[in-house]
Amino acid sequence: MTGPLVFEDVHIRFGSGSRATWAVRGVDLEVPPGSVVGLVGESGSGKSSLAKAAVGLVPVASGRIELGGVDQSGRTLRRRRVQMVFQDPYSSLDPRMTIGESISEALPRGIRRAERRTEVARVLELVDIDPWRATSLPGDLSGGQRQRIALARALAARPDVVIADEITSALDVSVQGSVLNLVRDIQRELDLAVLLISHNLAVVRYVSDVIAVMRSGRIVEFGGGDEVLERPEHPYTQLLLESVPRIGSALGPSDHATRRE
């Protein structure tokens, strides 16, 4: 393990001049080796922008994102230590490439063809997919299976950190649990660092060791899972927890208004 993934005073901006929008405003966050950090917040709070910056998809306006002292925000990195799994399992796999080809592409360079095949099969087994599925196209798989493939592809790169961005939100409830269990099991087996992004507090609580709450591009609360979710200090975290719908509870006035719309 090369050390923690460190976000230091990270600012991310979209657009320029008078049209500039600040998606992330001075975030400091650390994802220690072998731990799961949950990142929660409403849509547009900057969670995904922060994650994309860590894999070089979004430029950082200022600040640093480092893993073991190596800047991760550039696009020129050869070794891919931070891997990301995206929300939509239906569109994140190239429909023309077989599952095996997609996973093989993520393997580190310099591995021979025969070894690649073995590696692909092993990574598939790791995510509970039969290795013969390597020759299938993504269209032959269910959403849950595709998300497992996406996870396998991330693991194939032998990362130190996996960023899981809303990986269960496009799946139906019956599949969400199995994917989360898989993430948790793999994280423990491989001693990975995971940054789990979700707007679903239950999902984050289930898997994470520590939780960071993000609002309007800033982290407003950070602490252990129980601490943040049972004794929230920041009013936004309290509001977030109050907004969680509960079976059997009465709808508030705002819910009625939404329904009428």
Partner 1 sequence: MAGASLYGQADVPDAPDVPGAPAGGGLPYGLDRLSNPWTRFLTRRLARLLVSVFVVVTATFLMIHLIPGDPVRAALGLTAPADLVESRRESLGLNEPLITQYVSYLGGLFTGDLGTSMISGTPVSEIIADRLPQTALLGSLAFLTAVAIAVPLGLAMALLTRDGRRRGVELGFTSTAAVMSAIPEFLLGVALVAVFAVSLGWFPVAGMSGASSFVLPVLALALGPAMALARILRVEALRVLGEDYVRTARAKRLPRRLVYRRHVFPNALTSMLTIGGLVLGAMLIGTVLVENVFAWPGLGMTIVESILQKDYPLVQGVVLVYGTSVLFLNLAVDVVLGIADPRSTIRES
Residues that bind partner 1 (CB under 8 A): 1, 34, 52, 55-57, 75, 77-78, 80, 83-84, 86, 88, 91-98, 100, 105-106, 117-119, 121-122, 125-126, 130-137, 139-140, 150, 153, 157-158, 188-191
Closest CB 98 distance from partner 1, rounded Å: 7
Closest CB 246 distance from partner 1, rounded Å: 33
**In the structure encoding, which two tokens stand for residue 217, read together?**
């591009």
Under 8 Å between Cβ of 161 and 7:
no
Shorter beta-carbon distance to partner 1: residue 7 or 86 = 86
Distance from C-alpha of 20 to C-alpha of 114, rounded to nearest angstrom? 49
Q: How far is CA 174 from CA 132, 171, 178, 246, in A?
A: 25, 8, 8, 18
Closest CB 174 distance from partner 1, rounded Å: 23
Closest CB 226 distance from partner 1, rounded Å: 25
Cβ neighbours for 134, distance < 8 A, ≥ 6 positions apart: 98, 99, 100, 103, 117, 120, 121, 124
**In the structure encoding, which two tokens stand for residue 52, read together?**
């994309």
Shorter beta-carbon distance to partner 1: residue 108 or 235 = 108
Chain centroid offset of residue 99 CA: 21
Shorter beta-carbon distance to partner 1: residue 3 or 26 = 3
Closest CB 69 distance from partner 1, rounded Å: 18
Closest CB 216 distance from partner 1, rounded Å: 24
Chain centroid offset of residue 199 CA: 11
Shorter beta-carbon distance to partner 1: residue 136 or 200 = 136
Shorter beta-carbon distance to partner 1: residue 117 or 199 = 117
Shorter beta-carbon distance to partner 1: residue 192 or 201 = 192
Closest CB 72 distance from partner 1, rounded Å: 10
Shorter beta-carbon distance to partner 1: residue 19 or 246 = 19
Distance from C-alpha of 66 to C-alpha of 73, rounded to nearest angstrom? 8
